[in-house]
Copies of this chain bind each other. A is one copy, B any other.
């Protein structure tokens, strides 16, 4: 089932200036390098400009500065990468599941399902759960008592949602992710750990996307909160009572410890994290493997860690790290001596 659209229709949707054949039919998206007849491609990175003259694609999304020199069909606009993202939904191959509730799903009588929901096989939905219009629940998903899922949201297979969780509208949660498990709260009583029952829950906003095998724990007393527009990759860990501000992005293995507040429009790269009980301002960027270790109001990029090296060479330097304080003292002594 190939989808085909005229270049004119695409230009209209994107608000792009069309140069060339308005009737040209587009059947897929591709990269500038690999584009073939029928493909719409994009030039979003100067490094790929060299493919512009040789691309076999039927049309190119590009900025005005490249348009003059390009003889083929072009959609001209300011941000080709955003345009590519926006048009990508037109080319989704997979057919959405049929509406309706699969007969194997187990749904409590007190749960309410709005119009147009799709509930897959082997789903479990608890007491008083509210499922909004058009929500799509994949196979094997479990939703605990008193949770709510806003309209237009999608949960892929084998997601686990605990009780009392609130998920907004048009939010996507990928497979095997867990929302609302107990936060890791224990008090140490002479060596033995006494569990602190986690009485809060989780609130997730609208237009959030959460990857696979990610965990968002319920709060100890208050709720853990994920604001609108947040995007989380796979294997992310959000501990209890954390708040993640609007449109913040976190890559794989990013982990935020308990009670920390992260601002809006932050970016956490892979393996980055933040310690507990701190406040991180808007626009903070934590580079890969950086731990934000104290409250940080100033926007900008933060790092820790080391650059890669060949192991043989690295080892010599790593051993010297253990002598660094001693080296600093000796350096100071030499400076003192030389000034004597």
Contact = CB atoms under 8 A, between A and B. Distances in A.
A94 B213 contact: no
Contact of A325 (B29, B211, B288, B317): B317
Contacts of A34: 221-222
Interface stretch (A4-12, A16-24, A63-71, A138-146): A138-146
B308 A303 contact: yes
Interface string A172-215: 10111110011011111101111111010000000001011111
Nearest to A28: B199
Nearest to A197: B88
A304 B314 contact: yes
A28 B29 CA distance: 55
A233 interface: yes
A77 to B, nearest CB: 12
A253 B252 CA distance: 10
Contacts of A287: 311
Contacts of A309: 302-304, 322
Contacts of A320: 324-325, 327-328
Given A288-B291, A307-B321, A325-B317, A89 B197 contact: yes
A292 B250 CA distance: 20
Contact of A213 (B176, B294, B305, B334): B176
Interface string A250-270: 011101010000001100001
A81 B187 contact: yes
Nearest to A106: B121
B315 A303 contact: yes
Contacts of A335: 330, 334
B322 A184 contact: no
B234 A82 contact: no
B140 A221 contact: no
A311 B317 contact: no
Contacts of A313: 322
Contacts of A199: 28-29, 88, 91-93
Nearest to A333: B335
Contact of A175 (B29, B162, B249): B162
A308 B289 contact: no
B91 A102 contact: no
A238 B219 CA distance: 26
Interface in A108-125: 120-122, 124
A334 B106 CA distance: 77
Contact of A317 (B30, B257, B324): B324
A45 B139 CA distance: 46
Contacts of A319: 307, 325
16 contacts: A79-B187, A85-B196, A86-B187, A88-B196, A89-B195, A91-B197, A106-B122, A176-B178, A182-B209, A233-B237, A252-B255, A253-B253, A286-B308, A300-B311, A303-B308, A304-B307
